[in-house]
Amino acid sequence: MRGTAIATAWMTLAGMVLLLTPAVTAQSTARIGYVDVQRVLARSSAGVAAREQIERDKATMQKDLDARRVEIEKLEEEMVKKGALLSTEARKDKQEALDRKKRDFRRLLDDYQRELEKKDRELLQKLAQDLAGVVERFGKQRGYLLIVERRNAGVMYGAAEADLTDEIIKAYDQEMGRAKR
C-alpha cells in the first residue's frame, strides 16, 4: 500500500510536470527586450538633429543677450565716468534708462529660458511619440512579448542579447528618413 501511495504521488507529480511543460516551453520562447531611450535620443539622426536645433536657437539667443549685456555695461561705465559731470536730472534719466535696460534684460533672459525649455519639451515629446511607434512596430514584426525602457522600467540587469537599442536606432533612423522624403 505504501508503494502504491508513492507511485500515485509520483504519477501525480509527473502529471503536474507534464502539465507545466507546455507553459514553460511557451515562456522560454517568449521574447523580451529593453531599449535605452536616452541612448536612442543621443545617437539617432532625429535626436542629434533636435539637439543641434536647440543648440542653434540657444546660440542665437545668447548672441542677442551678449549684445544687450555689452550695451548695459557701456551705460554703467558712462554713468561712472560722466555721472559727476551730469546734472541731477540727466543723471536720474540715465539711471532710469539703465535700470529699465537691466529689467528688460532679465525679462528677456527668462523668456529665452522658457522658450528653450518649451522647444526642448516639444522636440522630446515628438521624438518619444515617434519612437514609441517604431518600438511597437519593431516588437510586433520580430515577435516580442514585451519591450521595456531600461531606465524608467527599473531594469536592474539586462543581458546584452536583450538590449535592442542599436536595432531600434537603425529602425528609427530608417523610418524617419522615409518620412522626410
Mean pLDDT (the chain) is 82
Residue 40 within a domain: yes
Residue 10 within a domain: no
Q: Please state the rounded mean pLDDT for residues 47-65.
A: 95
pLDDT at 29: 67
Between CA 74 and CA 78 the distance in angstroms is 6
Residue 34 within a domain: yes
Residue 169 within a domain: yes
Q: Where residue 19 falls among pLDDT bands split at 50, 70, 90?
A: very low
Range of the domain at 130: 30-180
Predicted TM-score (pTM) of the model is: 0.67
The tens digit of pLDDT for each residue in 21-32 reads 344 344 456 789
The tens digit of pLDDT for each residue in 64-111 reads 999 999 999 999 998 888 877 888 898 889 899 999 999 999 999 999
pLDDT at 181: 61
Residue 14 within a domain: no
Residue 76 within a domain: yes
Residue 25 within a domain: no
Sign of CA dihedral 45, 47, 50, 52: negative
Q: Please state the rounded mean pLDDT for residues 125-154.
A: 90
Between CA 118 and CA 111 the distance in angstroms is 10
Helix or strand or coil: residue 44? coil
Nearest to 31 by CA among 142, 178, 111: 142
pLDDT at 55: 96
pLDDT at 18: 30
Number of domains observed in the structure of the chain:
1
